[in-house]
Structure 1
Amino acid sequence: MPRPVRIAICQFASVPPSQESEGISSDETVTANFARLEPFVSSAASQGADLIVFPEYFLTGIIAEHLHLAYDEGHWVEVLQDLARKYAIDIVAGTIVEKSRQNDEHLFNTSVLIPHHGVSAGQLMCGPDVFRARYIDKHGEILGEYRKKNLWHPEKEYLRSSTEEHQIFQTDKFKAGLLICWDLAWPEAFRALMLQGVEVVIVPTCWVLDDVGELGLKHDPDGSAEVSWLDSMVINRAYENECCVIFVNCGGPKAKGFLGHSSVSMPFKGVVTRIEGPNEEMRVVDIDLDILQDARAVYKIREDYEAKIKLNQMK
């Protein structure tokens, strides 16, 4: 039986902090980005999308040199919950950098999925120094959250890696899991979700060419190899784990190192849709999750993997 889901991927180009941003309210940068975000949510909802996904660091851009832009926990989450309710659409709010509850120098980077029922942000469990993603449903409820485990190397200076286990959660349409950016390069993260029965893995990302530094750029100055690697990882993770992978990268000018290539991939279909360039764009696509049952019947990766685990446990 068909299981249709309509997904909007938004390759959002954040307004960067100004050079003088240390001397102004952090609200100015975040408010500017938030004002640009709502029209995408409205457009996706008007096209009948069940879910819209934004990239990592979507409200602030990369925050390494602008740590003052971090917010007290939950500051913008409630606003996103209101948006989800207003437009009756699920939102994966990329990631939000939040101040730790503890008085230390580390931050949270959070990705959230919010439903429309409305759970208070203050009710969330959180620990110090992490980066989180959240899933918010159309009722404003936070169905799931994930704190980044595999930090990109420079992030380790101001964020703390989560030690919590990967968890899936149930939405109205599917069993979901959240990962963030560099997690994509760790097959083990996907395996942990696969063993719990995940159907859709959502990966908000801020992956730019400058990440490879001088050593990488001397071999791949235009980023073509990096883009090929990104594309292949997304497709491979979908096939390896017999699931749908929603990969949403940040948008921006190619001249500034942005790569884009946000996509949705599934077994048997490969790339269902992909934003080929780096510029800001939203794409709405229909998928049928019934395909996943066929993939599992044919490839039996989950079945074989679980059998090997049971065999090892018996030794």
Structure 2
Amino acid sequence: MARIVHTASAQMGPIAKSETRRDTVKRLVALMREAKGRGAELVVFTELALVTFFPRWLIEDEAELDSYYERQMPGPDTQPLFDEARKLGIGFYLGYAELVVEDGRKRRFNTSILVDRSGGIVGKYRKVHLPGHAAPQPGRRHQHLEKRYFEPGNLGFPVWRAFDGVMGMCICNDRRWPETYRVMGLQGVEMVMLGYNTPYDHTGHPDIDGLTQFHNHLSMQAGAYQNATWVIGTAKCGIEEGSNMVGQSVIVAPSGEIVAMAVSLEDEIITARCDLDLGRRYRETIFDFARHREPEAYRLIVERKGAVPPAA
């Protein structure tokens, strides 16, 4: 019997700095309702879906900085999203800034959660590959200070059994790193959900930045194909507080093919009928890790890396 998950990617247009959480949650609820109306049972929201992308600014007042983070999930402002999910019988992935006290100190993470159809949290992920800088860079119109405002995630890349399959999560820059998908792929992941807030000027090199849209899709398609998994990529996009951000939210099949893509730079729902068994064909043939993957060879390469002469 086929395992079909009708899935939606809920792209978001810009969130203004002045926009309240309650207003933003209303937008999320509206997207959730549209997704449900189109038959979805799982909707993937974006990275930092509750606030504007605040790492573009140097924020030195700690109280102001703390205002962008969630101390609990759900909280008073986000509870309506969970209530609506329970009412509609739809699950969701949500990215947000998390503030917690762990190991006796205040800690900040770029976080996502997976919520089931009953409104219960199935799992939590914290972004591992933080881009940008810890200190402001001269000459930049917009900063990218994720390394200042977040710690690298400390939960690894776990997977969860939910929606009749094996589900994984990652966030934004994680999508560019093959280890992200491979660690989950070795655990049999069948769907990877990720949200991203990616500006066009994120490297400062015009030749690289000009390929931002290409690299965005390349990384997700390669990760999907090489690990035989669905990938649901959801953007925050448009011109947000003067920063031009990439859209092109996609749903990618285990074949590496894009089966749905957003066409606007606004709030937009795209959907696909995701057959989780489609990945099995690739895991039993081309990417049968047990038969074809050679971890011993990789270990030897790592051990011998000192024998390779350094570049001149």
TM-score (norm 1): 0.80
Q: Match for 2:244: what amino acid?
A: G
Q: For 2:215, what is the secondary structure of its paired residue?
A: helix
Residue 155 (structure 1) aligned to one of 146, 158, 161: 146
Does 2:172 match 1:184?
no
Aligned-pair CA distance for 1:136:
0.5
**1:242–1:292 CA contact under 8 A, matched in 2:** yes
**Residue 164 and residue 72 in structure 1: after superposition, are their counterparts in 2 closer, same or farther (change >3 A)?**
closer
Q: How many Å separate the matches in 2 of 1:196 and 1:275?
A: 30
Q: Match for 2:149: what amino acid?
A: Y
Q: Match for 2:190: what amino acid?
A: E
Q: For 1:17, what is the secondary structure of its paired residue?
A: coil
**1:14–1:60 CA contact under 8 A, matched in 2:** no
5+ unaligned residues in a row in structure 2: which ranges?
58-63, 133-144, 304-312
Residue 227 (structure 1) aligned to one of 213, 230, 233: 213
**2:6–2:41 CA contact under 8 A, matched in 1:** yes
Who is 1:7 aligned against?
7
Provide Cα deviations, 1:165-222, integer angstroms capped at 9, x if missing partner: 221001122100110001011111211111111110111111121322xx32x336xx
Question: How many residue pairs end up in the alignment?
Answer: 278
Aligned ranges 1:91-110 → 2 under 5 Å: 91-93=92-94, 95-101=95-101
Who is 2:37 aligned against?
46
Q: How many Å separate the matches in 1 of 2:168 and 2:277?
A: 18
**Residue 30 and residue 269 in structure 1: after superposition, are their counterparts in 2 closer, same or farther (change >3 A)?**
same
Q: How many Å separate the matches in 2 of 1:165 and 1:59?
A: 24
Does 2:185 match 1:194?
yes
5+ unaligned residues in a row in structure 1: which ranges?
19-27, 107-127
TM-score (norm 2): 0.81
> More displaced, 244-253 or 50-59?
244-253
**1:130–1:160 CA contact under 8 A, matched in 2:** yes
Q: How many Å separate the matches in 2 of 1:311 and 1:267?
A: 24
> More displaced, 95-104 or 57-66?
95-104
Aligned-pair CA distance for 1:304:
4.2
Greater relative contact order, per chain length (Cα 8 Å cut-off, separation 6+) = 2
Q: For 2:232, what is the secondary structure of its paired residue?
A: strand
Q: How many Å separate the matches in 2 of 1:257 and 1:233?
A: 20
Q: How many Å separate the matches in 2 of 1:247 and 1:268?
A: 15
Q: Match for 1:70: what amino acid?
A: Y
**2:28–2:81 CA contact under 8 A, matched in 1:** no
**1:13–1:58 CA contact under 8 A, matched in 2:** no
Who is 1:114 aligned against?
none
**1:184–1:233 CA contact under 8 A, matched in 2:** yes
Who is 1:141 aligned against?
120
Aligned ranges 1:95-134 → 2 under 5 Å: 95-101=95-101, 128-134=107-113
Q: How many Å separate the matches in 2 of 1:56 and 1:176?
A: 17
Q: How many Å separate the matches in 2 of 1:102 and 1:265?
A: 36
**1:14–1:59 CA contact under 8 A, matched in 2:** no
Q: How many Å separate the matches in 2 of 1:131 and 1:156?
A: 10
**2:34–2:269 CA contact under 8 A, matched in 1:** no
Provide Cα deviations, 1:29-64, integer angstroms capped at 9, x if missing partner: 211111122111111112220101111111102123
Who is 2:278 aligned against?
291
Q: Percent identity?
A: 24
> More displaced, 286-295 or 191-200?
286-295
Q: How many Å separate the matches in 1 of 2:298 and 2:215?
A: 34
Who is 1:237 aligned against?
223
Residue 237 (structure 2) aligned to one of 251, 259, 280: 251
Who is 1:70 aligned against?
69
**Residue 269 and residue 166 in structure 1: after superposition, are their counterparts in 2 closer, same or farther (change >3 A)?**
closer
Q: Match for 1:73: what amino acid?
A: Q
Q: How many Å separate the matches in 2 of 1:85 and 1:54?
A: 16
Q: How many Å separate the matches in 2 of 1:187 and 1:79?
A: 36
Question: Larger % of strand: which?
Answer: 2
Q: How many Å separate the matches in 1 of 2:68 and 2:84?
A: 21
